A and B are shown apart, each in its own frame.
Chain A
Amino acid sequence: MTPPPAESVAAMIRPAPVRVDSKVNRDLLRVMEGASVGYWVLLHLAVAFMLAAGGWWIYQVYRGLGIVGYRHPVFWGAYIVTFVFWVGIAHAGTLISAILYLFRAKWRNAINRSAEAMTVFAVLTAAQFLGIHVGRIWKSYFILPYPNQRALWVNFKSPLLWDTFAITTYATTSILFLYIGLVPDLAIARDRSTGWRRVLYAVLSLGWQGTSKQWKAQNRAVLHLSGLATPLVLSVHSVVSWDFAMSIVPTWHATIFAPYFVAGAIFSGFAMVLTMMIPVRRIFGLEEYITDYHFENMSRFLLLTSLIVGYAYLSEYFIAWYGHVEPESTEFWMRAFGPYWMSSWTMIICNAFVPQIFWFKWARTHVPTVFIVSVLVNIGMWFERYVIIVGGLSREYDPAAWGVYTPSWGELLIVAGSFGFFAQFFLIFLKLFPVVAIAEVKEIEIHSKAHGEVGH
C-alpha cells in the first residue's frame, strides 16, 4: 500500500476550503448589514405615519367615532375596507409557503420568506382595524369567549365572531410558519454575527446545529404546518367574505363571495409581494436569487387570479340582472353608474383589464411593467372592497335611508398609517432577518447541482 502523495496529505491537513454556500450566505446576509440613508428615511417615514395615525386614533377614541366620515346608513367605511385589504394581502404568504410547498413549486423558495413575513405583518395590520373600527374599544374584549360570572357568552352565529377566530388562528399559524422556516437561517446568522445580534439569533435559533435529525424535524414541521395552513388560505378569506355574504344587504348576500374573496385575496397578495420585492431586489442586488423567472411566474399567477376576479365581477352583474330582484339590480347599476362609479371603474380596470397584459411574455419579463401592474392591482383591490362595502350599504332596501359616504381625512390618515405600520415591520424585518430563505435557496442549488452531475 503506497502512502498518499505528500501533496494530497497537505491538502488533507489544509484548512477546509471556502464552502460553496458562502457566497449565498454572504449575499443574503449582507442585506441585514448596515443601513443606507434611504433606509432610515423610509423607516422614519413609516414610523411617522404610524404615530400620526395613532395620535388621531387616540383622539378618535376620546371624542367618538363621530369625527369619522360615517353617514347613515353606511356604518362601515374605510376602516373595514382597509381591514379586508390587509387580510387579503396576508394571503400570498401562506399560499406561497404552504400550497406551493405542497405542490413542490421550487420557484417559491426565493420569495417565500418575504411573503411569509408580509403575511404576518399584514395580519397584524388588519387586526388593528378591528379595534379601530369598533365604537367601544375599551369593551372589545367582550368579543372573546372568556369565562365570566355573569354567564355572558358570545354569539357563535355572528360572522364577526368567526372573523375573530379566523384572524387569530391565521395570525398564530402564519407566525409559526414564518418562525419555523427562519430557524436554520437564524443559525447561519448567529454563526456570522457578533454582539447583541448574536445573542438574539442564538436565542431565536433554538440551538440549531444543522444536524440531520434537526433538519428532518424542521422539514416535518414545515410539512405539517403546510397541511394545516392550506385550508386556512381558503378559510380565512372565506370567513371574511361571510362578514358580508351572511348579511342580507343586497350585493353582499351572494354565494359567490367566498371563492370570489379568496381569489381576490391571492390576487392582491401576490401583487403586494411583487410591489415589495421588486424594489428590495433592486436595492439589495438580489437579482441572482430572485430572478425574473420568479416574477414571471408570479405574473402568471396574477393573470390567473385576475381572470377569476373578473369572472366574479361578470357573474355578480349577470346574477343581478338574471335574478330580477329590484333592490339588487338597482344597487349594481348604481355601483357602475351611481355615486361610486369612479371607484367601480378603477376596480374593474385595475383588476380585470390591466393584468391581461400578462398574456404577453415581454410584459411578464419586463420588471418595470410588472411593478406598475402590481401597484395598480393593489389600488384596484382596495377599491374593490370599498365598492363592495360602502357601495353595498349606501343604497339598500329603504330608499328613505340612502346615504353617500366619503372617507374623512382622519380615516385616510389611519389608512396611510396602516401602510406605515406595515412598512415599519417590513423594514425592520429586512435588517434583522434574512429576507430570502438562505437554507431553501441552498437546497435548490444543491439539488440542481446534484441533478447536473447526474446529467453528466
Chain B
Amino acid sequence: MAELDRREFLKLVGTSAGAAAAVGCSDLPEKLIPYVVQPEEITPGLPVIYASTCQECSAGCGVHVRTREGRPIKLEGNPEHPINRGKLCARGQAGLGRTYHPDRYQSALERDASGALAPVAWDQAIARLGAAVSAAGRRTAVLTSPLGPTLSGLLDSWLAATGGGMRVEYEPFAPEALRHAAEVVFGVASVPVFDLSDTDFVIDFGSDCLSTGLSPVEHARQLSAARDAAKESARAARLVYVGPRLDETASQSDEWLAPKPGTEGILALAIARAAVDAATGPDGEIGVAASAIARQLSGFGADAVAARTEVPAETIRRIGASLARARRPVALPPGVALSSSRATSTAAAVLFLNAAIGAVGHTVQVPPAPSRAPSFRDTTRLIEAMKAGDVDVLIVHGANPVHTLPSASGFAAALGKVKLVVSIASMPDETSALAHLVLPDHTTAESWGDAAPRPGVRSIVQPTLRPLYDTRAFGDTLLDTARAIGAAAAANLPAGSFRSAVEAAWKDTNWRAALQRGGVFDGGAWSSPGIAEGVARLQFKEPEIAGDGDFVLLAVPSPMLGDGRGANLGLLQETPDPITKIAWQSWAEISTKSADSLGVRPGDVLAVETASGKLEVPVWPRGGLRNDVVAIAFGQGHTVGSFAAATPDEYSTGLRAGERPAPGPARGVNVNAILPAQSDESGGRAFLVAKAKVGKTGRFQRLPYTQGTDNKRGRLLGESISLAALAAGGPSPWAPNETPGHVPGALAAVPAAAEHGETGERRAAAGHGGEHEILRAYDPVNDSVAEDPYRWGMTIDVDKCTGCSACIVACAVENNIPTVGESLILRNRTMQWIRIERWIGEGEPVLEPARPDVESREQLGNVDVRNAPMLCQHCGAAPCEPVCPVFATYHSPSGLNGMTYNRCIGTRYCSNNCPYKVRRFNWFDYQIERWPDPMGLGLNPDVTVRAQGVMEKCTFCVQRIQAARLTAKGEKRAVAAGEVQTACQQTCPTGAIVFDNLKLADNKAGAAANANAGRTYHALHPVNTRPAITYLAKVAREEGHEA
C-alpha cells in the first residue's frame, strides 16, 4: 500500500467531505440509466424526427413527430406534405396529449357482474368477441370514423370473412351535403377541393374556412399568401364572408354579410346571377355552363333575393360584379353550422356560383369519387336496426356517437338493446362507458396506418414509441378475432400483423422513402366536370326551421374541441376560444340587443329550449351576431373524462394513470341534446333546423374568460391601416423615425450607433443617455452586445393572424406549460406564454362604472377585428430587468430577456412592471400537480419544468436557439438566417410570426418588416421599452381597392 502522507490525507478528507456535503445538500440523486444496447439512431440529447399523419380530424395533415430518447414530445407539420406544408392547427398540436393521457385504458376490460369494467386478458377478450361475432353473423355491426385505406380495406374483408355484418362510417361533421351537391351538379360524388392559393376574391358562405372548415390549415395558409400585404399585386385580394356570426373567418374578412340563416344558397344564386349579368361580352368560361345556369338563375334577381335574405340588392350586384371581374375567384360552401334541411341545394347553389364565375377547374377541383364516405343515413339505419333488436354485436371505433349524435336519435337507448357493445377507444368516453367489452386501441403515436385525404396524397401513420400500455391496434384486434373464430375466417385475411398489412398495401411504393417523407405526394388525377343533367331537378328555397321561439339555434363546431373529440385534452380546454376567449366552459351567444331585451348580462344562465329538449347555459352577449340567433358551440357537455367532464377543483391531485374518474356531472352543455335528429335532402345530418325559446333562469355562473374587454382604448396594441394609406407609401404612421427592418445596413443612417456597446445601451435604457441616444431612431439591433453576433427578434403580422391559437398550443407543448383548469382560469391564472388579443376597432377610452360587464364592441357587418398575438417582447429596455432584486431576469448578450428560474425568489415585481403583462407566476407546484402520470413522459427534456413560486414567460424558445448555436458551432459556422424557428412561428398556418437573428443582413424577420415598412409598429411604444417584436398593422381592405 502506498504511503499516505499528510497532503494525500488532506486531499482525501477534503474530497470525500465535499462529496458527502454535495450529496447531502441536494435532493435525492436520480440515476440516468444508459441504454444497455445503444440504438444506432438515437443520440441522447438529440431529437429524432419521424414523419407521420395527424389523425385529429379528417383533413389529413402530415406531421413530423419529434422524439427524444424514444418518446415523442412534439408534433410539427411536415413541410413536404401538400396539405399543410409544415403547419399545424391547435388541435393537431395537442394530439400527442392522447398518448400521454392519464385516463388511458391500460388493458382490455370487460364488464363484470357488478357492472364495472374490470381488466381481462386479451386472449379471453378476443375469444369472447370472436364467439359473439361468429354467433351474430350478419347481426354484427361496426361503427367507425373514416378509416385509412388499409384499415378500411381490412375491415371490409373482415366483415366479409366473419359473416357479412353491417359497416357504418360515421363522422359527425362530414361534408355530406357538399358531396351530394357535387354529385348533383358535377355528377361526381366527391368533396370538391377548394384551392385558395393565388386567389384574388374569396366568398365564404359560412364554412368558417379558416377555423372549422374543410381544411383550415391549408386554407388559412393559402389565403394569407394570396393576400400578402407586402405584395402590391396581391394585397387587395378580398375575402367576403356570409354568415350570421362574427367567427374567425368573418373576423378576417373585408366584408361580412349576415343574411337570414338558411338563405345562403339563395344569396349565392343571386350573386351568381349578378356575376353573369355583369360579365359582358362572350366570356368563354361563363358561356360553358350558361344554358344550365341561366335556367336555374332566372328566378333569383338581386331585388327579389334582397327581400328574402335581408342583404341589400346593391350589395348583391356589387359582389357579383366583383366576382365576375376577379381573376381567380372562389366561393366556399356552408359548413356545419349552416347545414340546414336544404344543405345540399345550398351547397349546390355555391357550386353553381363557382361554375358561373369560372372557378371550376381552377380554384375548385373535383376529385374522383371515393369508395366510401361517412353517411348519416347509414348511421340512422344502424340506430333503427339496433332499436329493432337486429344488432347483436356492435363494435365502435374512433367515434363517440353517444355524445355526438343528437339525443333525439335515441342512440344511447338503442345501445341498450345490443347484446355486446365493444369499444375500441383508447381512453374513456361516453360510448365506451356503456360498452360491455373495451379493447383499447393504440394511440396515433403508437400506431401504424395510412390516410388518403384526397387523390394524390397518400400519407403514412407510423409509430414513434412502443405502446405505453397493454393495448392493441384495431387492425390486430380484427385479425386476432378472425383467427379466434377459425381458420376459415382467417383465411381470407392477411397473415401476420396489421403492420405487415400496411407495408403490403404500400408495396407499390418505395416504402422506406415513403416512411421518410411521410407518404407519397403526387399531383393526383382531377376531373374537370361540366354541369350534370341532374341540376334541373334542384329546387332552391328557404329551409324550414321548425319550432316556436324567437331565435334560430345555431350550433357551431368548436375551433378547439371540434365535435367534442378534443374535450378530454386539457391543453385544448385550456386554450381560450379564439372569438370569446372563454376556456373550459360552454356559453350561449346572443346579440347584445337580444340580451338587453331579455335583461341578461354575461354569465347569466339562460334556458334554451327547442322541441327536442332544454339546456341551461350561461350567456355571452355579442355585437357580432344576428338578433334572431342563439349560438352554442359543440364540444362540451361530456360526462366522462378527467378534463372533459366537470371535475373537482384540483383535478389532478391524486389522479394517477389508469384511475378513471367515474362519470360525473357534465362540463358545459352538449348542444346535441336539443338538436332534433334531422337530415337534409340527401340524408346528411342537418344542424340548422330548430328554433329555440330563450329565457332567463335567474342563476349566474361566472364564465372563465381570459380577455375581459375588446376595447383597446386607442392604445398602441393592435393597429390597423387602410389600404389607401398603405398604397400611398411613406413611413409607418406609428414609427416614422424607426428602422423597420433592423438590418445592419440601416444602422449606417444612425449616428453613433456603431460605438454603441453594452454601456451605451444600458445608459440609454436607464434614461441617462445623451440627447442623441434618446432621439435617435429606435432599432432593436442595438439592444444586444455589439460584439455578439446575435440579436433575436420577431415580426408579427396582425394582418395575417386569424386568431386560430395554434401558436398557443404549440408553445405549451414545446415549453412544458401546465394547464391550470377552470377554477384557476377564473382567477386569471392561465400559464400560457402567448395569448392572442382580440380587439374590435381602435376602441375609445370610455370610463365604466364600478364593476363593468364584459362589453362587446362588435357590430353586425363590422369586420375591424384585430388579432394581435402578445408574448414577451424581449425589450431592449425591459422594465422587468432592473426591478428584480436578484437578477433572476436579465438581459442576455444576444438581446434576449432571460429568466433564471433557479434564481427567482418570487417577488413578482417583474410582472407588475411589465406593461405587456406577459409574465406568468407558478402559484402552485404545477410540476407535481399538473402532470399526472404518464403526462410527464411527454415533457420536453430541453425545457425546465418550473417549480412553485417562480416567474416564467416566453423565452423565444431559447432551447431551440441554443440547439442551433451548438449545431452551428459544431460545423464551425454561424447560425444562418431562418435556421431557428420558434414553436409558435413553426406552426403558424398563415406565417404571421417570423423570428430571426436581426443582425444578419438577410434575416427573415427584418425582411418581413422592411417589406411592410409602411405598417410597422411597436406595441405600447410610448412606454419606450424598445421591444424586439415589430408588429405589422392589419390592413383594412376598403371598397374600391379591388384588383
Complex CA distance for A157 and B577, rounded to whole angstroms: 41
Report if B715 contacts A (CB, 8 A): yes
Find chain B residues with CB under 8 A from A153 CB: 887
Complex CA distance for A247 and B915, rounded to whole angstroms: 10
Report if B372 contacts A (CB, 8 A): no
Complex CA distance for A164 and B711, rounded to whole angstroms: 40
Report if A410 contacts B (CB, 8 A): no
The contact of A338 among B709, B850, B885, B923, by CB within 8 Å, is: B850
A249 with B912, Cβ < 8 A, contacts A65-B906, A134-B905, A398-B870 known: yes
Binds A, one of B111-119, B589-597, B824-832: B824-832
Find the B residue at minimum CB distance from A73.
B917
CB–CB A72/B885 < 8 A: no
Find chain A residues with CB under 8 A from B709 CB: 399-400, 402
CB–CB B912/A66 < 8 A: no
Report if B950 contacts A (CB, 8 A): yes
Q: Tell me the minimal C-beta distance from A331 to chain B in angstroms.
A: 10
Binds A, one of B387-395, B472-480, B841-849: B841-849
A135 with B715, Cβ < 8 A, contacts A249-B912, A398-B916, A398-B1020 known: no
* A312-329 with Cβ < 8 A to chain B: 326-327
Find chain A residues with CB under 8 A from B835 CB: 400
Find the A residue at minimum CB distance from B1019.
A398
Binds A, one of B249-257, B273-281, B876-884, B960-968: B876-884
Report if B851 contacts A (CB, 8 A): yes
Report if B601 contacts A (CB, 8 A): no
A330 with B845, Cβ < 8 A, contacts A143-B885, A153-B887 known: yes
Complex interface bits, A227-264 against B, C-beta within 8 A gives 1, otherwise 0: 00000000000000001001111000000000000000
Find chain B residues with CB under 8 A from A427 CB: none
Q: Tell me the minimal C-beta distance from A133 to chain B in angstroms.
A: 7
Find the A residue at minimum CB distance from B948.
A64
Find chain A residues with CB under 8 A from B843 CB: 399
CB–CB A398/B915 < 8 A: yes
CB–CB B828/A72 < 8 A: yes
Find chain A residues with CB under 8 A from B851 CB: 339, 404
Q: Tell me the minimal C-beta distance from B817 to chain A in angstroms.
A: 15
Complex CA distance for A393 and B911, rounded to whole angstroms: 10
Find chain B residues with CB under 8 A from A339 CB: 850-851
A-B contact count (CB 8 A): 174
* A330-380 with Cβ < 8 A to chain B: 330, 333-334, 337-339, 341
The contact of A64 among B828, B837, B924, by CB within 8 Å, is: B924
Report if A152 contacts B (CB, 8 A): yes
The contact of A398 among B717, B827, B879, B949, by CB within 8 Å, is: B717
Find the B residue at minimum CB distance from A252.
B912
Complex interface bits, A374-412 against B, C-beta within 8 A gives 1, otherwise 0: 000000000000000000010011111111100000000
Report if A139 contacts B (CB, 8 A): yes
Complex CA distance for A326 and B917, rounded to whole angstroms: 18
Find chain B residues with CB under 8 A from A213 CB: none
Q: Tell me the minimal C-beta distance from A155 to chain B in angstroms.
A: 5
Complex CA distance for A243 and B909, rounded to whole angstroms: 9
A135 with B845, Cβ < 8 A, contacts A143-B885, A248-B879 known: no
A161 with B885, Cβ < 8 A, contacts A398-B717, A398-B1020 known: yes
Complex interface bits, B534-547 against A, C-beta within 8 A gives 1, otherwise 0: 00000000000000
Q: Tell me the minimal C-beta distance from A273 to chain B in angstroms.
A: 31
Report if B310 contacts A (CB, 8 A): no
Report if A160 contacts B (CB, 8 A): yes
Find the B residue at minimum CB distance from A326.
B845
CB–CB A71/B827 < 8 A: yes
Complex CA distance for A330 and B851, rounded to whole angstroms: 14
Find the B residue at minimum CB distance from A136.
B949
Q: Tell me the minimal C-beta distance from B18 to chain A in angstroms.
A: 12
Complex CA distance for A153 and B886, rounded to whole angstroms: 7
CB–CB A64/B905 < 8 A: no
Q: Tell me the minimal C-beta distance from B414 to chain A in angstroms.
A: 46
Q: Tell me the minimal C-beta distance from A411 to chain B in angstroms.
A: 13
Find the B residue at minimum CB distance from A243.
B909
Find chain A residues with CB under 8 A from B713 CB: 326, 330, 399
Complex interface bits, B509-524 against A, C-beta within 8 A gives 1, otherwise 0: 0000000000000000
Find chain A residues with CB under 8 A from B883 CB: 157-160, 246-247
Find chain B residues with CB under 8 A from A14 CB: none
Complex CA distance for A341 and B838, rounded to whole angstroms: 28
Find chain B residues with CB under 8 A from A333 CB: 847
Report if A104 contacts B (CB, 8 A): no
CB–CB B924/A397 < 8 A: no
Report if B720 contacts A (CB, 8 A): no
Find chain B residues with CB under 8 A from A71 CB: 827-829
CB–CB A65/B850 < 8 A: no
Q: Tell me the minimal C-beta distance from B216 to chain A in angstroms.
A: 24
CB–CB A135/B921 < 8 A: yes
CB–CB A154/B886 < 8 A: yes
CB–CB A247/B885 < 8 A: no
Report if A59 contacts B (CB, 8 A): no
Complex CA distance for A136 and B888, rounded to whole angstroms: 13
Report if A63 contacts B (CB, 8 A): yes
Q: Tell me the minimal C-beta distance from B743 to chain A in angstroms.
A: 29
Report if B925 contacts A (CB, 8 A): yes
CB–CB B905/A338 < 8 A: no
Report if A40 contacts B (CB, 8 A): no
Find chain A residues with CB under 8 A from B913 CB: 247-249
Complex interface bits, B687-720 against A, C-beta within 8 A gives 1, otherwise 0: 0000000000000000000011101111101000
Report if A76 contacts B (CB, 8 A): yes
Q: List 10 A-B contacts (CB under 8 A).
A: A72-B829, A139-B905, A143-B885, A155-B882, A155-B884, A160-B885, A160-B909, A249-B912, A339-B850, A396-B917
Add 4 more A-B contacts to A154-B885, A326-B845, A338-B848 (CB < 8 A): A70-B921, A72-B921, A136-B950, A152-B887
Report the 3 A-B pairs with minimum CB-CB distance, sorted nearest first.
Answer: A135-B906, A135-B949, A66-B923
